[in-house]
Structure 1
Amino acid sequence: MLLLGPLLFFYVRGTLNDTSILKKSDAFHFIPAVIHLIGIVPYSLQSFATKTQIASRIIQNVDTILDINTNYFYSTTVNFIIRPVLLLVYILYCMYLIWKRFAAKNVDQNIPKKQLLISFRWLIILIMSLFFIVFEFLIITFNSVQQKPSVGLVNTYPLYILSGAAYCIMSFSLLLFPNILYGFPKRVVVKKETVKKQKPSSESHTKTVEVHEDDPFFELSESIQAYLQKERPYLNADFSISDIALAMHVPQNHVAYCINSLMQTKFATLKSDLRIDYAVELLSGNLNESFTIEGIAKQSGFKTRASFYGAFKEKIGMTPTEYIAEQHK
């Protein structure tokens, strides 16, 4: 619980700054959790029988939980209060960071505006949902301490329902804004000599890129397409988006942005289409006579015959067997 605030802060800051690197000063945020960890060491070293007795007392009468001290430094009441209060402080500070970032008049032109707007909406939903949940949890905690846990928990039952609704909204928003997982991608400097040698990989994957030449990630998207065309890493059955990121020496979220926003496709679709294009090359040549369908499927990067057949028919409109028959005709 004491780590929720720091982790939220690191996520929001990393999303705003497009980095996941921690600073030395960030160790300060772990101090409350470390203090708490040290404080519960004596309780943790007690026998299992003693802990079972404590659990039995709480089950029989939940009000006794305030009288059971499991931390060496402070009481259970302080323990219950400090958790939502500390998290609420971090949430308010994250609100300030978001406001400061988007209230600035000079917007970074190296950040695509569409992605900026999507990420902003997601951060607002995330922070407001968490604020609502933590504020309700603080009310429940206050009522339980001021009265009795048994009374406070029962009287605040509607708040549990509202908290559940807030959790659902926060989770459902991931479906509405899937691009938030990419953060705020910024310009990546690509060597000019590398860009000059690049050529469009295929009309199916580059026809939409020309519209986005003013996008700061246009050069990176061209580099990705050139890499896919030249190296053909998709022929590896375990090919993933992280392989492109490693080859380009850029963060994975930058690659994901280029594929989704500039190339306007999904990585799974792009990978499947490239493999089918390669399979068509094999089937159109003489290799279809020396390779079985399973062999061509594996050569193209598919793990199973079924997945190959399904992808092939979806893109070409016929099965590999029917395609071979058409070629013979």
Structure 2
Amino acid sequence: MHNATIILVLLVTLLLLFNHLNSNKGIIWVIISLISSCIKILAVLNPTTVFIEEPFTLRLILLSGLLGFLPMPTLLLYIKSIIKKPTKIDYLLVLLLIPPALYAINLIPYYQLPVAEQIQVFQNQDSSLINEATFWVSWKMADRLNDIYNTILGALIMIYPITLVTRNKHTLSKKSYIALVQISFIVVANFAIMMLMVSNSYLHFFDFNESKWLSSFSLVLPLSIILFPRYLYDNISNSDLTFYLKLKNHISTKDDQTDVNQDKLITDASRVLAYLHNEKPYLSPEFSKHDIARSLDIPQNIVTDCFSKIIKIPFPVLRNQLRVEFAIEKFKNSGHLKITIAGIASESGFKNRSTFYTAFKEITKMTPVEWIKKNCDFQLEED
């Protein structure tokens, strides 16, 4: 089972690099989080003897205590990279790396031991070696501090993307918004696995080494990413949108849930959203629901139902929101330094500067110039 986990992790790592690296260098943080998480999980779920014939993997397993500090801080840094431009010095990074740095220094004697003796310490087989394996804090206490650190940080990170999504949905781009929604699902699923392992180490519900089926938990993390093609491939997938819309409508109000055509309507709604994302037809000032119906060969009354019953955002509101998000992307890429705000309004699909300002302020609660001053490195005065 551990070989399947390693293969899946390598596959996901390659796909993330290929599909995300050009658009966001912060994907490196996700990869560090993914690899270190899986090493930690494999170390808990499998006896060390399983890796004896795999020297490189064995070395990583013996370092799993240190690597176990990395998943949560690196994931937090990645989420931060989605919503904000990186600064020259990332003080959050410095702060989050202090605990693993202290942990690493404390275990310097352990790292200097031969591999055979490291295995004995790791398996708690030689009390004399264990006592000599650390500088300040005992081996057992260091592991407990590791668990406490990751539990607290994991709980905070579960809340963080959800808070970002609810508080910043008007200023986040659609791409960032959907990415954060899906990351929230992935984090919740894997935090549950982490809590299971941490609580079991103290309460001893079961013995991982004696329950071979439990080793399948190591597959949860890479599989949870693969199940979200929209995130993995960095584009809109109809199947993924359909899943999202089904979930959204299942946990919202029960209106229309008895409609026998609900599934068909959800599929049509996912096609509509994919069309809006991929083709960006809203950039035309004359764009209407009739254009969606004609382009997708869906009756216009069905298109209307998609917005009212499934997407649950009125068409004019969503159209303006997409146009404002397009303008915001222009601002983030310093487009306001090349053309006027009126020019960006026109490129975004607004008929004039006045309607752009009205829609922008309604969605972001600030004018375009105020948004630029708050969020961009390069600013300008009213044009």
In which range does the TM-score fall when normalised by the shorter chain? Answer: 0.3 to 0.5
TM-score by length of 1: 0.45
TM-score by length of 2: 0.40
Question: Which structure has the greater CA radius of gyration?
Answer: 1
